A and B are shown apart, each in its own frame.
Chain A
């Protein structure tokens, strides 16, 4: 019988379609795995953002990966509760984001400074300066905000806390 651990290792080979340096497991979108038989499996995934266009791609990638590994009956269910949060991104994945040039979420979603609009410090992933400025709450994808470093002047994406 296939183990959950084995399935997780298979799914860990699937990169996020928009941020290819992290896997869908590290991102925290895989919520539950139920192995029914050696060929039948039920998965629960949750979207990062409601309209995230990558969800369909992720579903297709998961199906392809599982089919290549002998599963013929694959049922993927999208769940909304509990809602995805940036807290589910693993610490290793946050380091990978930084190395890729995307500033990882700075605080946990429990931190409400972003709600009150109080500015917070986001470190530039290029030169590590903390002298950075928010350009726009909305960036190149739904999950990111746009910042600019005031020291090296490089604009960069910030993975915002939700």
Chain B
């Protein structure tokens, strides 16, 4: 694989993961459990969608075939998306949304720290920008995990159920393939095994503090690096892409 193809795929993966997570989170807008949380999740969705725009814009310029970030977002099918499956899963109840979010925030927090040292200036710049925002996100989701876990009997059960269901999707965050290999050699991509160690430590400490137990011996899902997804991605894309596909030149 040549460097340009690898960089395009890598940037696309980062863009897609942020795009789909941002889209999912924005479903809470107007439906949050109370006003401040509604605003919080909407703000977080906005930051994440903003990061998606930056990555997809860069992917489009790396590809250099005249496609824009909007073309990449709205005119690809599910098998051409490389977001991790965790991001496409339905929101479920608030505990489930928060557990997914803490997994992602914690990953982003350590991932962007590494990516900010990338030899690719654009990727490093986007990472330096995002890390400031993600720090706030991680604090938000962590404080909720703690409150749910160490809260009432009901909130504890809901948080533990969410953990048990979502844990199987966490391995995918750290999968590396040829794309990573090519780019790590050039000092562009992040070695995800470094991120995994830090992620594990943070999540283990947080779960202990929250009186929640870390699921053990779980079968791990895989596929997104090859464009294989759960059934949920097709539906979220259908909703997200319907308008631009129906009216390809729509402006508003």
Residue positions of A touching B, CB distance < 8 A: 47, 49-53, 79-85, 109, 115, 117, 135-142, 146, 160, 162
Contacts and interface: CB of A to CB of B under 8 A. Distances in A.
A113 to B, nearest CB: 12
B50 A52 contact: yes
B39 A81 contact: no
A107 to B, nearest CB: 14
A142 B47 contact: yes
Nearest to B126: A80
A82 B135 CA distance: 17
B4 interface: no
Nearest to B123: A80
Interface string B43-80: 11011111101100000000000000000000000000
B140 interface: yes
17 contacts: A47-B129, A49-B50, A50-B130, A50-B133, A51-B49, A51-B50, A80-B125, A82-B128, A83-B125, A137-B40, A137-B136, A138-B36, A138-B42, A141-B43, A142-B43, A142-B47, A146-B36
Contacts of A83: 125, 128-129, 132
Describe B's contact surface by its main secondary structure: helix
A157 to B, nearest CB: 11
Contacts of A53: 46
A136 B135 CA distance: 15
B56 to A, nearest CB: 12
A149 B114 CA distance: 39
A139 B157 CA distance: 30
A135 B133 contact: no
B133 A136 contact: no
Contacts of A50: 47, 50-51, 53-54, 126, 129-130, 133
B122 interface: yes
Interface in B121-147: 121-122, 124-126, 128-130, 132-133, 135-136, 139-140
Interface string B98-137: 0000000000000000000000011011101110110110
Which 9 residue pairs spanning A and B have beta carbons closest together? A51-B50, A50-B50, A81-B125, A80-B125, A138-B40, A51-B46, A136-B36, A138-B43, A162-B132
Nearest to B139: A117
A117 B139 CA distance: 8
Given A50-B126, A138-B36, A138-B136, 16 more contacts: A47-B50, A50-B54, A51-B22, A51-B46, A51-B47, A52-B50, A53-B46, A81-B121, A81-B125, A83-B129, A85-B132, A138-B39, A138-B40, A138-B44, A139-B39, A162-B133
Given A50-B47, A51-B46, A138 B132 contact: no
Contact of A142 (B46, B125, B139): B46
A142 to B, nearest CB: 5
Interface string B2-44: 0000000000000000000010000000000000110110111
A49 B47 contact: yes
A78 to B, nearest CB: 8
Contacts of A135: 36
Nearest to B44: A138
Contacts of A51: 22, 46-51, 53
A140 B133 CA distance: 16
